[in-house]
Structure 1
Amino acid sequence: MPSFDIVSEINMEEVRNATDNASRELSTRFDFRGIDASFEYKDKTVVMKAEAEFQLQQMESMFRTAMSKRNVDTSSMDVKPYDAHGKTYRQTIAFKEGIEQPTAKKIVKLIKDAKVKVQTAIQGEELRVTGKKRDDLQQAIALVKEANLGQPFQFKNFRD
């Protein structure tokens, strides 16, 4: 029986490259001259530091642009609220990897409500979709792609 897996993965090397690109752009921008602002990548998170809140907003915009240039979906970003430490502001960006249980249940419900003749099974942080016909699987892929669930999904391991 044909099957495929629905996963949510991020290429962390591309995130690191986007962080480096944003840091380079930060060093060349005129409005950030003489200001203590930086991007820092560590442990699958990006930490932005600046002297003012509006600078953090500009830095987030720069980082989103760098991410999209590296073909990383920005909907996987989980931007935390900023916090102030003395005269510096700090904001952390985490990344959503894997499909959490509530999101997986939403996907299963979405596919079942559409009455597509496939079976979905939650396997940890991914979903396995099996069906008798390839067309049914493609219909399930289209349903998940057009649903806005707040994170990017990839479809892997398609077997006939």
Structure 2
Amino acid sequence: MAKDSSFDIVSQVDMQEMSNAVNQTEKEISQRYDFRGSIASIELEDKAIKIAAEDDYKLNAIIDILRARMAKRGLSLRSLELGKIEDAAKGSVRQMLTIKQGISKENAKKIIAAIKATKLKVNTQMQGEQVRVSGAKKDDLQAVIQTLKAGDFGIDLQFINMR
């Protein structure tokens, strides 16, 4: 009797890489001519990034630099959720970028529905912020992964613990 195979679907951000991207962005801001003598900062907090700048233009420039650094480090740009731009002291502006970790219940339901729609003989189970998929045939599991890679769930998905 063949043992069931399984894998987990997760949405995780490598926080060390995110920290490196933020540090590189900070370094570039400090060296760029157009930011000399202006209010401009970027700070990594627990599950968010705080950005402050003189005006909307500079704020967006910082976000663009951050996105470029994230892309170079293999971090998904989908893992950032931009908060609204708020007014800060001395006419400056600030914005919080939330780092999305885990799969929400709504997204988990969409993922499970997409898997069920394939009509493959696999079982799905929500486990906290991840989804476990198990089945007798490895080929079915591979097909599920291909289906999910082709779909768009608004978050970055990784497939781990394949056994």
- Secondary structure, counterpart of 1:150 in structure 2: coil
Q: Percent sequence identity over matched residues?
A: 40
Amino acid at match of 1:22: T
* 1:43 to 2:74 alignment: no
C-alpha separation in 2, matches of 1:64 and 1:116: 37
**Structure 2 match to 1:126:** 130
- Secondary structure, counterpart of 1:66 in structure 2: helix
* 1:14 to 2:25 alignment: no
* 1:68 to 2:71 alignment: yes
* 1:109 to 2:113 alignment: yes
Q: CA deviation at 1:43?
A: 1.4
CA deviations over 1:61-117 (Å, ceiling 9, x no partner):
000001111111111111111100231100111111111100000000001112122
The unaligned stretches of length 5 or more in structure 1 are none
Q: Is residue 2–residue 133 contact of structure 1 (8 Å, CA) maintained in 2? A: yes
* 1:56 to 2:55 alignment: no
Q: CA deviation at 1:29?
A: 1.1
**Structure 2 match to 1:94:** 98
**Structure 2 match to 1:79:** 82
TM-score of the pair, normalised by structure 1: 0.96
C-alpha separation in 2, matches of 1:121 and 1:45: 29
Amino acid at match of 2:123: Q
Paired residues, what number? 159
Amino acid at match of 1:149: F
**Structure 2 match to 1:5:** 8
Q: Is residue 76–residue 150 contact of structure 1 (8 Å, CA) maintained in 2? A: no
The unaligned stretches of length 5 or more in structure 2 are none
Alignment RMSD, CA only? 0.8
